[in-house]
Amino acid sequence: MKHIKIDDKSRFSCEHDNYVLEYEVPKGDFGAKKGVGFKWEIDGYFPTLEQLLNDWVRNAPSHSNPVKMKELKDVVKILQDAEDHIAKLIKK
C-alpha cells in the first residue's frame, strides 16, 4: 500500500475503495522505550478524496501546536493555511 504525504505529520492511502487518513503520533507506551519514536494512527476512512481533505482541513487546529492558538484569529489562520496547503498540493 502506497502512502501519500499531506504534510510532515499526516498522510493518506487508498484501501478497498476507501481513502484512509493517518496522523503521526508519539509511540508512548507502545515503543520499546517509552516516549521514543512515533507510529501512524488511522484517523478515518472516507469514500472520496474530497471528503478526506475536507476533514483534514477541519481538524487542522486539533493537530497544530496549541501554543500557536491563543485567540480565535489564530485558529482561523491555521484553517486558512491548511486550505492553502491543500490548494498547492492539488496544483502539483
Instruction: State the CB neighbour count (10 A cutoff) for residue 35.
Output: 9
Strand (E) positions, 2-80? 4-7, 10-15, 18-26, 38-46
pLDDT tens-digit profile of 9-60? 999 999 988 999 999 998 876 555 555 689 999 999 999 999 999 999 999 9
Q: Where is pLDDT greater, at 90 or 54? A: 54
The predicted-structure confidence for 59-78, as pLDDT tens digits, reads as follows: 999 988 888 788 999 999 99
The structural domain count of the chain equals 1
pLDDT of residue 61: 93
Q: What phi-psi label fits residue 17: left (phi over 0), alpha (psi between -120 and 50 degrees) or beta?
A: left
For residue 17, report the phi and psi dihedrals to the nearest 5 degrees: 65, 20
Q: Which domain holds residue 44?
A: 4-91
